Amino acid sequence: MKNLYRFLASSDHSVARAVRDVRRQVRGFTLPAPRPIVVPMRMAFEAAREVYYFGARVLVCEPHFKSHCARYGKGVRTGNFIHYIQGRGDIVLGDDVVLDGKINIVFAARFSDRPTLRIGDNTGIGHDCRIIVGKSVSIGKHCRIAGSVYILDSSGHPSDPEARKHGLPPADTEVRPVVIEDNVWLGARSMIFPGVTIGEGSVVSAGSIVMADVPPYTVVAGNPARRVASLRTEPPPAEPEAIRAGARGNVADDAGRRSLEGRAS
């Protein structure tokens, strides 16, 4: 059979050339697509797809996910995939939380009786995120977490080489809670390490590896992530009352002088 394939693929024999020519014609075959026919076909397909995915989300995916939650608020929504949840722990969700696509949540029972994942109101988490919870991962309100973000409060293996060689679990001190405060934006493929706190209003750029705390209203980027910008807008310094009173007096004097000059003219 190999020899036949080689013959048909490379021989100058008329039969081989004819077979190759037929193959090219078949691979290049296409049909016209008159709009009066294909547009209704496309619209019917898209309508059927939306109905199917709506049913899958509302009747299968969301009930499956909510059955894992210890508590969830109003308007919690998922995508069209069943999230992959391993181990036992508490998932506590606020209102209007969206978990899109397919997300992997892993609970480790070794370090806590009930490891807990908390997600605040109006937070959205994108497709292909992975959250490892040994003790606690807390995500605040109004957060935006892009796709393929990795959040972990435990690396899963000890940092000590001997312990790792013998297959021991990480030490309890190596499992440190992660806190993501309100209104944080985590860019795609970023990674949040154990013990990290990301301050309110901060942005983690795509692909960043965050191994230390991020102050509020800060943009970080890189591996390891470093501060690259500040998002805090400071109000102008307040003027002392005496200066403000003097300024008001000067304005009044100027107005009075212009009035007298107008009458004199």
Between CA 163 and CA 169, with CA 134 as vertex, the angle to 5 degrees is 15
Instruction: For residue 193, give Cα distances in angstroms to 34, 150, 153.
Output: 55, 8, 6
* Residue 157 annotated as catalytic: yes
What is the tally of helices (H) and strands (E) in the chain? 6, 19
**Comparing C-alpha atoms, which of 92, 89, 90 is closest to residue 71?**
92
Residue 159: what residue type? S
CA 204 – CA 195 distance, rounded (Å): 16
Select from 64, 67, 125, 128 the least CA-distant residue to 102: 128
- Selected catalytic residue, list 68, 127, 157, 166: 157
CB atoms within 10 A of CB 140: 20
End-to-end Cα separation, the chain, in angstroms: 112
Q: What does each C-alpha distance from 90 to 26, 71, 106 come to in angstroms?
A: 56, 8, 11
**One-character DSSP codes across 94-123:** -TT-EE-S--EEEE-SSS-SS-EEEE-TT-
* Enzyme catalytic residues: 157
